[in-house]
C-alpha cells in the first residue's frame, strides 16, 4: 500500500509525461495530428519561407514581428553582441582542447557558463523583464561565435572573428568556414535555423524552463538545455540520418537494406516522430530546399524516403512512418558545406532562441516546478548500527 503524506494528492502520469499539460504558453504550439506548428500566432514554415532569422528572433523574445526600422535596430543590436569578452575568448583553446573528442556542443556548456559570469548575468528572479531579455539576447548572439570557435580550435585552426555586416546565418557560416557563403547556401541554412527555433515542450525546452523556475540566471538555464539537447534521443540524429544514405550506398541496395532493418526491428534514423502522425512540416520544406540544389545525392535521398515508406506499408501495415526534420536537415546542411560534427551544434544555434523565449515566459511566473516521484523501494526501517 502506498501512503501519501504529500500536501497535494499524487497524480499518476504516463512515462515521459507524454500528453501531460504542465503549463500554458504563448511561445508556440505543435499540432501533431495536423502536421502543423507555429511560433506565437504565425505558422513556423511560413516564417521560414518569408522572413529572416532576426525577424523571427524578435518575434520570439519581444512578441511581435518587427517592421523595417525595428528590424534594422534589432539586427544591429544583436550583431554588436557577437564578439566575446576577452576572458571568454582566452579560455576557449583550453575548453576546445579538453573536449576535442566530445566536440563543440560539449564545450558550449562550459563556455556558456563562463560567458554568463563574464557578462555579469544575475538570477532572473532578481531582474525585471527588460534585463532578462537583454541577457537572453546577449547569450544567443554569442552562441554561434562560441560554437564555431570551438570547432575551429579543435582542428588546429584560428577562430574567425564575427562580422556585423552579415545576417545571423551568413555570419555563422562565415565564422565556421572562413569564407563568406553564397546567397543560396546562406538562405538555405537560415531557413533551416528558423524552422528549428522552437518546437513545443521538448526535453531541452522543458529543462530550460525547470531551471528558470528556480530563478537561476540565463546562462544556467541555457547550459542545462544544451545538456538535454546533446542526448542522441533528442538532438543528436541529423548526422545519423545521413549515415543511412552512406550505409545503403547505391540505389540497387535500397530495398534489401531497408527490408533487413525493418524485419530486424531496427530503428531507421530520420523517420518517425514522437508528436507528428503525419509528415513533419519541417521535413517537407527542407526536401524542397534540397531539391532546389539538385544532384544525385538529393535524388538518392528522395528515393530512399519513397522506398522506406512503401516497404513499411507492406511489412508493417497500419503503421505510418514519415521522414522527420533530421532526414533532410542533414542533407541540406551537407549541401551547404557544414561538417557532420556540427549538425547538432547548428541545431543549438537556432534552438537557443526558442529556449530563451521559454525562459522569459517561465521567469515571469515565480512558482518553482517541483513534481514528486512515487517511491517503490523497500519499506523504511531502522538503520543497522555499524559492526564494531
Task: State the catalytic residue, choosing from 273, 305, 322, 334.
Answer: 273
Band of residue 105 on the pLDDT scale cut at 50, 70, 90: very high
Q: Which of 262, 275, 277, 263 is nearest to 308 (CA)?
A: 262
Helix (H, G, I), strand (E, B) or coil at 344: helix
Please compute the mean of the pLDDT values over residues 381-386 and round it to a whole number: 85
List the strands of the sheet with 36-39, edge to edge.
Answer: 28-31, 36-39, 42-43
| Cβ count near 117 (within 10 Å) | 14
| DSSP alpha helix (H) spans, the chain | 44-50, 53-62, 68-79, 86-98, 104-119, 129-153, 168-177, 183-195, 203-213, 218-229, 238-248, 254-264, 281-293, 296-315, 325-335, 343-363
Per-residue model confidence (pLDDT) at position 386: 83
Sign (positive or negative) of CA dihedral 210, 213, 216, 219: positive
Lookup result for grid cell 513533419: 280
CA dihedral 374, 378, 382, 384 (to 10 degrees): -130
Question: Is there a catalytic annotation at residue 273?
Answer: yes
- pLDDT tens track for 131-162: 999 999 999 999 999 999 999 999 999 999 99
Whether the per-residue pLDDT at 123 is higher than 50: the answer is yes
Cell numbers at 289, concatenated = 530546399
Tell whether domain 238-335 is in CATH 1.10.230.10: yes
Q: Which of 54, 190, 326, 334 is catalytic?
A: 326
Asked whether the predicted pLDDT for residue 271 surpasses 80, the reply is: no
Q: How confident is the model at residue 322 (pLDDT cuts 50, 70, 90)?
A: confident
pLDDT, residue 142, reads 98
Q: Is 305 a catalytic residue?
A: no
Distance of alpha carbon 240 from the chain centroid: 16
> Average model confidence (pLDDT) for the chain?
90
CA distances in angstroms from 339 to 90, 270, 347, listed in the order given: 25, 18, 13
Q: If you average pLDDT over residues 260-273, what whole number do you get?
A: 79
Locate CATH 1.10.230.10 in the chain.
238-335
Three cell numbers, residue 16: 515521459
* Cell numbers at 82, concatenated: 557577437
Q: pLDDT tens across 301-310, in order?
A: 999 988 888 8
Query: Which backbone phi and psi does 38 adopt, to 5 degrees?
Result: -145, 155
Residue 1 has pLDDT above 50, yes or no: no
- What the block records as the C-alpha cell of 201 is 515542450
At the topology level of CATH, where does 36-235+340-363 sit? Citrate Synthase; domain 1 (1.10.580)
Angle at 232 between CA 229 and CA 234, to 5 degrees: 45
CA–CA distance, 131 with 352 (Å, rounded to integer)? 17
Predicted model pTM: 0.91
> What residue ranges of the chain are covered by domains with CATH 1.10.580.10?
36-235+340-363
Contact 296, 156 (CB under 8 A): no
Q: Which residue has the cell 557563403?
A: 181
Amino acid at each position: 500500500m502506498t501512503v501519501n503524506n504529500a500536501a497535494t494528492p499524487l497524480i499518476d502520469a504516463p512515462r515521459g509525461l507524454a500528453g501531460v499539460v504542465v503549463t500554458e504558453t504563448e511561445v508556440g504550439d505543435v499540432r501533431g495530428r495536423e502536421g502543423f506548428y507555429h511560433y506565437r500566432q504565425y505558422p513556423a514554415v511560413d516564417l521560414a519561407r518569408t522572413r529572416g532569422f532576426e525577424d523571427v528572433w524578435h518575434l520570439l523574445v519581444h512578441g511581435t514581428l518587427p517592421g523595417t526600422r525595428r528590424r534594422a535596430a534589432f539586427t544591429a543590436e544583436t550583431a554588436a553582441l557577437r564578439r566575446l569578452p576577452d576572458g571568454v575568448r582566452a579560455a576557449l583553446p583550453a575548453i576546445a582542447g579538453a573536449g576535442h573528442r566530445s566536440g563543440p556542443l560539449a564545450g558550449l556548456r562550459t563556455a556558456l557558463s563562463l560567458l554568463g559570469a563574464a557578462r555579469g548575468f544575475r538570477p532572473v528572479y532578481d531582474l525585471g523583464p527588460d534585463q532578462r531579455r537583454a541577457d537572453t539576447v546577449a547569450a544567443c548572439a554569442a552562441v554561434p561565435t562560441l560554437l564555431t570557435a570551438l570547432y575551429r580550435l579543435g582542428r588546429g585552426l584560428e577562430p574567425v572573428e564575427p562580422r556585423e555586416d552579415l545576417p545571423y546565418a551568413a555570419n555563422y557560416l562565415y565564422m565556421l568556414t572562413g569564407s563568406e557563403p553564397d546567397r543560396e547556401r546562406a538562405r538555405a541554412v537560415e531557413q533551416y535555423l528558423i524552422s528549428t527555433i522552437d518546437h513545443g515542450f521538448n526535453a531541452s525546452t522543458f529543462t530550460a524552463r525547470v531551471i528558470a523556475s528556480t530563478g537561476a540566471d540565463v546562462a544556467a538555464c541555457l547550459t542545462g538545455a544544451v545538456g538535454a539537447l546533446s542526448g542522441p534521443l533528442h538532438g543528436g540524429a541529423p548526422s545519423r540520418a545521413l549515415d543511412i544514405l552512406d550505409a545503403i550506398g547505391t540505389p540497387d541496395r535500397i530495398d534489401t537494406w531497408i527490408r533487413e532493418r525493418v524485419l530486424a526491428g531496427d530503428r531507421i534514423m530520420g523517420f518517425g516522430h514522437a508528436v507528428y502522425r503525419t509528415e513533419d512540416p519541417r521535413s517537407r520544406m527542407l526536401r524542397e530546399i534540397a531539391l532546389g540544389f539538385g544532384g544525385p545525392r538529393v535524388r538518392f535521398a528522395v528515393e530512399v524516403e519513397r522506398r522506406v515508406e512503401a516497404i513499411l506499408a507492406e511489412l508493417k501495415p497500419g503503421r505510418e512512418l514519415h521522414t522527420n526534420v533530421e532526414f533532410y536537415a542533414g542533407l541540406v546542411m551537407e549541401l551547404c558545406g557544414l561538417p557532420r560534427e556540427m549538425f547538432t551544434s547548428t541545431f543549438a544555434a537556432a534552438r537557443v532562441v526558442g529556449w530563451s523565449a521559454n525562459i522569459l515566459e517561465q521567469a515571469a511566473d515565480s512558482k518553482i516546478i517541483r513534481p514528486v516521484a512515487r517511491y517503490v523501494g523497500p519499506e523504511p526501517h531502522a538503520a543497522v548500527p555499524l559492526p564494531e
